[in-house]
Amino acid sequence: MARPVKKKAHKGGVNYSRWGYFFLLPFFITYFIFSFVPLVTTFYNAFFENYMSGLTKIGPNFVGFDNFKSIFGSDLLKYTRNTVILWLIGFIPQILISLLLAVWFTDTRLRLKYTGFFKTVIYMPNLIMAASFSMLFFALFSDNGPVNLFMIENGFFKEPFRFLAEIWGTRGLIGLMNFLMWFGNTTILLMAAIMGVDINLFEAAQIDGARSSQIFKYITIPSIKPILIYVLITSMIGGLQMFDVPQILTNGKGTPDRTSMTLIMFLNNHLFSKNYGMAGALSTLLFIITGILSLIVFKSLVGSPDKDGR
Partner 1 sequence: MDNGSKSRIILKIERFLCYLFLAFLTVLSLFSFYVLIINATRAHPDIQKGFSFLPGKSMLNNLNSILKNKNLPVLHGIANSFIVSGSTALLTTYFSAMTAYAIHAYEFKLKKAAFLFIMMIMMIPNQVTTLGFISLMGKMKLMDSLIPLIVPSIAAPVVFYFMKSYMEASLPIEIVEAARIDGSGEFRTFNQIILPIIKPAMAVQGIFAFVGGWNNYFVPSLIIKSANKKTLPILIAQLRSADFLKFDMGQVYMLIAIAIVPVIFVYLCLSKFIIRGVTVGAVKG
Q: Toward partner 1, which CB reaches closer, 178 or 185?
A: 185
Which 3-state string (H, E, C) describes 113-145? CCHHHHHHHHHHHHHCCHHHHHHHHHHHCCCCC
Side chain identity at 7, as an amino acid letter?
Answer: K
Please report whether residue 118 would count as binding partner 1 according to CB under 8 A: yes
Residue list 255-284, contact with partner 1 (CB under 8 A):
264, 267-268, 271-272, 276, 279-280, 283-284
Of the residues 24, 96, 199, 204, which one makes contact with partner 1 according to CB under 8 A: 24
Please report whether residue 132 would count as binding partner 1 according to CB under 8 A: yes
SS3 assignment, position 156: coil
DSSP per-residue letters across 237-290: HHHHT--HHHHHHTTTS-TTTTTT--HHHHHHHHHHTT-HHHHHHHHHHHHHHH
Contact string 43-82 vs partner 1 (x = CB under 8 A): -xx-------------------------------------
Q: Toward partner 1, which CB reaches closer, 54 or 291?
A: 291
Residues 125, 130, 131: CA angle, nearest 5 degrees: 140
Please report whether residue 158 would count as binding partner 1 according to CB under 8 A: no
Of the residues 78, 252, 255, 258, which one makes contact with partner 1 according to CB under 8 A: 252
Longest CA pairwise span in the chain (Å)? 85
Q: Toward partner 1, which CB reaches closer, 198 or 203?
A: 198
Q: How far is the CB of 278 from partner 1 (least distance, A)?
A: 10
Residue 236: CB partners within 8 Å, gap ≥ 6? 87, 293
Q: How far is the CB of 173 from partner 1 (least distance, A)?
A: 11
Give the burial string for 200-225 (b: 16+ CB within 10 Å, else e): eebeebeeeebeeeebeeebbeebbe
Size of interface with partner 1, in residues (CB under 8 A): 106
Residue list 1-20, contact with partner 1 (CB under 8 A):
1-2, 4-6, 9, 11, 16-20
Contact 133, 125 (CB under 8 A): yes
Q: How far is the CB of 216 from partner 1 (least distance, A)?
A: 14
**CA distances (Å), 68 to each of 46, 71, 74, in order?**
8, 5, 10
Q: How far is the CB of 64 from partner 1 (least distance, A)?
A: 18
Q: How far is the CB of 127 from partner 1 (least distance, A)?
A: 5
Q: How far is the CB of 276 from partner 1 (least distance, A)?
A: 6
Please report whether residue 216 would count as binding partner 1 according to CB under 8 A: no
Q: Count H helices, E strands: the chain?
A: 15, 2
The DSSP bridge partners found for residue 48 are: 62
Q: How far is the CB of 29 from partner 1 (least distance, A)?
A: 8
Contact 154, 65 (CB under 8 A): no
Q: How far is the CB of 242 from partner 1 (least distance, A)?
A: 10
Please report whether residue 123 would count as binding partner 1 according to CB under 8 A: yes
Of the residues 193, 215, 219, 228, which one makes contact with partner 1 according to CB under 8 A: 193
Q: Toward partner 1, which CB reaches closer, 76 or 180?
A: 180
Contact string 137-156 vs partner 1 (x = CB under 8 A): xxxx-x-x-x--xx--x---
Side chain identity at 236, as an amino acid letter?
Answer: M
